[in-house]
Structures are given as structure tokens and as C-alpha cells.
Amino acid sequence: MYQFEYHKASSVDDALKKLGGAEDGKILAGGMTLLPTMKQRLAAPSDLIDLAGIADLKGIKVDGKTVTIGAMTTHWEVHSSKEVQKAIPALSDLAGLIGDPMVRHRGTIGGSLANSDPSADYPAAVMGLGATIKTNKREIAADDYFKGLFETALEDGELIVAVSFPIPKRAAYQKFPQPASRYAMVGVMVAETPSGIRVGVTGAGPCAFRVPEMEKALTAKFSADSVAGITIPSDGLNADLHGSADYRAHLVTVMAKRAAATIA
């Protein structure tokens, strides 16, 4: 790892001030992606600004209609929260499938979404449940948030403070984990949300996306059979030694079918 300066931020404003004052600063959340990347010298920020000391960014709030999760809340906290288990069990399940226990103890929802790894699990939840990303500047709808490979709508000087999920009538997440890393080769969140049925996919493309054909079919009739015959085109999907684009496209249908079957 190359040398860098380390700063602990006391507030969101303080973090942004420190980031602005750094030559090539990076925000450090749980560090479960950033630190391995730095160890491999694929990233060499001049400064790290650690958000761990900002109490405002932690915690889970549930009201009648929404679950709001602070950006620095860990995967383990989301998974083990009784309130999340009751309001959105699919979200708790998804958090429990990320990485391994030690990674879940440190990795955070805000870090995962800011990074927008194409194989991360949370993007499927944000997309599938129709969540809203709250930043220090504005609120971004899930549909407008993911822009491409490791690319989001976040601008310079913009920091995720919380993510707000509308409580769905029913939802399920099914994931096909890459056997070694446990990242999602493909993960699909199927949900009946207050604004209609949504299907959010991670792992298959450069970033999370919805499948409108499946949403239409599930709206007409909510059953696994409704999505069984729907295949998505493999053009532009991810391909690596673990699976071709065609294979991933096929997995989207299989995972959507399994997710729908769980809650139909």
C-alpha cells in the first residue's frame, strides 16, 4: 500500500471540507473494497477521510411506510435488525448474503452503493425495492442513481447519508453467488412495492437495472410461471471466466423465477 494521510471526520461537513482540501482524497466507509484495492496498488489516494466517527450516519429508523438506513450502518446491523426483519425480510436476507461474517461486520450500505460494484448485492435491493438515496445535497431515486460500471449519479462533494426503502407488500431476493468470492454472479430482487411491481437485477450488467417485461408479466399474474418464459438479451452483459453473458442472461430468468416463487 502506498502512503497516504489519514483523517477522521467529525461530521459530514467536516468530511467534505477535508476531502476538498486533499489533493486526491477518498472517503473511507467500511473499507471492504477500498483497502484491498489500495493494498494491490490499484488505487493510491493521497488522503483517506474516515466516516466511522460520525454518529449521524449510523442507525436504522422504521416508520409506517419506510425503512431508513444510515450510510455507515453495517451489513450485519441490517441483517440482524429485528425491525428490518419485520418490515422488509428480503432486505435482511440480502444483507446476510454479502461477503462473509467478518466482511459484514465492517462493510456498510453507503460504501457499497457509492462504489456501485457490478456484482454487489445492495444495488439489487435499491433498484428492486425502489429506494431513495439521500445525500448531503438531494434525494436520488433508484432509477436515476446507477449510471454504469462503478459509476453513479453522485457528484463531486456529494456524500450518501442514508438510504430510504419504501416497505413493500412482499419481496424476495435470490442470488447465484460466484463460488469463490460469494459476490453475485446474478442477484434478483422481485418486489411488490407501493408504486407497483419491480424487478431489480445485479451482477448481470455493468450496473443494476430493472426488467420491465418481467414487471409487466408479474403485474398481470404474480407467479413464477409469469417470468419463466421471459429471457433478457445478453448484449452488453458482463462476461468473465465464471460465466458468459449468455449464462448471466439465463441466470436472470432463473433467479427471477425463484424469487417470485418464494412470495407468490
Summarize as ranges the residues that interact with other proteins (CB under 8 A): 1-6, 8, 31-32, 35-36, 38-40, 48, 50, 52, 76, 80, 99-103, 105-106, 180-182
For the bound state, the minimum distance from the C-beta of residue 101 to other proteins, rounded and expressed in Å, comes to 6
Instruction: Report helix, strand or coil for 162.
Output: strand
Q: Which is nearer to other proteins, 20 or 101 (CB)?
A: 101
Find the DSSP H helices in the chain: 12-21, 34-39, 75-80, 82-87, 89-95, 101-106, 109-115, 122-129, 142-145, 212-220, 224-228, 245-263
For the bound state, the minimum distance from the C-beta of residue 218 to other proteins, rounded and expressed in Å, comes to 30
Query: In the chain, helix, strand, coil percent, each to 5?
Result: 35, 25, 35
Q: Which is nearer to other proteins, 122 or 209 (CB)?
A: 122
For the bound state, the minimum distance from the C-beta of residue 114 to other proteins, rounded and expressed in Å, comes to 18
**φ, ψ for residue 149, nearest 5 deg:** -60, 115
Query: Rounded to the nearest 5 degrees, what angle is found at the Cα of 78, between the Cα atoms of 76 and 84?
Result: 145
Q: Which is nearer to other proteins, 182 or 210 (CB)?
A: 182
For the bound state, the minimum distance from the C-beta of residue 167 to other proteins, rounded and expressed in Å, comes to 26
Cα(127)–Cα(143) distance, integer angstroms? 7
Looking at beta carbons, which pairs linking 35-42 to residues 24 or more positions away fall under 8 Å? Answer: 38/1, 38/2, 38/4, 39/1, 41/1, 41/2
Q: Which is nearer to other proteins, 105 or 250 (CB)?
A: 105
For the bound state, the minimum distance from the C-beta of residue 231 to other proteins, rounded and expressed in Å, comes to 31
Q: Which is nearer to other proteins, 103 or 245 (CB)?
A: 103
Q: Which is nearer to other proteins, 77 or 215 (CB)?
A: 77
For the bound state, the minimum distance from the C-beta of residue 54 to other proteins, rounded and expressed in Å, comes to 14
47 bridge partner residues = 5, 25
Q: Which is nearer to other proteins, 76 or 146 (CB)?
A: 76
Instruction: Assess contact for 131 and 166: CB atoms under 8 A.
Output: yes
- Sign, CA dihedral 73-77-82-86, equals positive
For the bound state, the minimum distance from the C-beta of residue 239 to other proteins, rounded and expressed in Å, comes to 23
The x, y and z cell numbers of residue 172, run together, are 424476495
